[in-house]
Amino acid sequence: MIAIIDYVAGNVKSVENAVKKLGYETLITSNTEEIRNAEKVIFPGVGEASTAMNYLKSLMLDELIPTLKQPFLGICLGQQLLCNFSEEGNTECLGIFNLKVKQFPGRDIVPHMGWNNLQKIRDQLLNGISEEDNFYFVHSYYCEIGENTTSECDYILPFSATLQKDNFYGTQFHSEKSGDVGSLVLQNFLKLK
């Protein structure tokens, strides 16, 4: 069973549809026991950091998530909330990745919205992906580059497109909206042991 965390951040249904299309059974849930017992966990997100973190705290999911041992994937806001701190609402996040989430400087159009490629790819989640492949992004905040960065993207400045530490993975792009290459990333995640 693949648990998709429901925390009033958008995009839950499109993630569910993408996972089901790959042949996996899903459960949209905010129940701590269901999440703890899932084979894998996906943490999607479209929304605002402080609102999302307050909701996680109200359900004690902020305490559960860092203790999980199964493969865990944060998507977009889901990746950002796995970091230490977000400038969006001056929000203390989950602290899995020792990184800050910062707002893009206004030197270009913000949000970063549309298709972009990845660079410096070094992650099993991205097996079969090349620097020519494009993914769909939509975000006004970005994760810094650090020791857990496994690929980068460049929009206004370089940022972490994907992150990985132990069983925790993150993608700033929306794999569920990125066509065949996004499906490949999801498939790679779902095949992890």
So which residues are the catalytic ones? 76, 174, 176
How many Cβ atoms from other residues are within 10 Å of residue 85's Cβ? 16
Q: What's the rounded Cα separation, in Å, for the pair 110 and 123?
A: 28
Determine which helix (DSSP H) or strand (DSSP E) holds 79, and give its type and residue range.
Answer: helix 77-80
- DSSP string for 13-77: HHHHHHHHHTT--EEEE--HHHHHH-SEEEE---S-HHHHHHHHHHTTHHHHGGG--S-EEEETH
DSSP state of 123: -
Q: What number of residues does the chain have?
A: 193
Residue with tokens 């001056």: 90
In this structure, what are the phi and psi dihedrals at residue 161, rounded to the nearest 5 degrees? -85, -35
**What distances in angstroms separate CA 41 from CA 10, 71, 134, one per listed residue?**
16, 6, 25
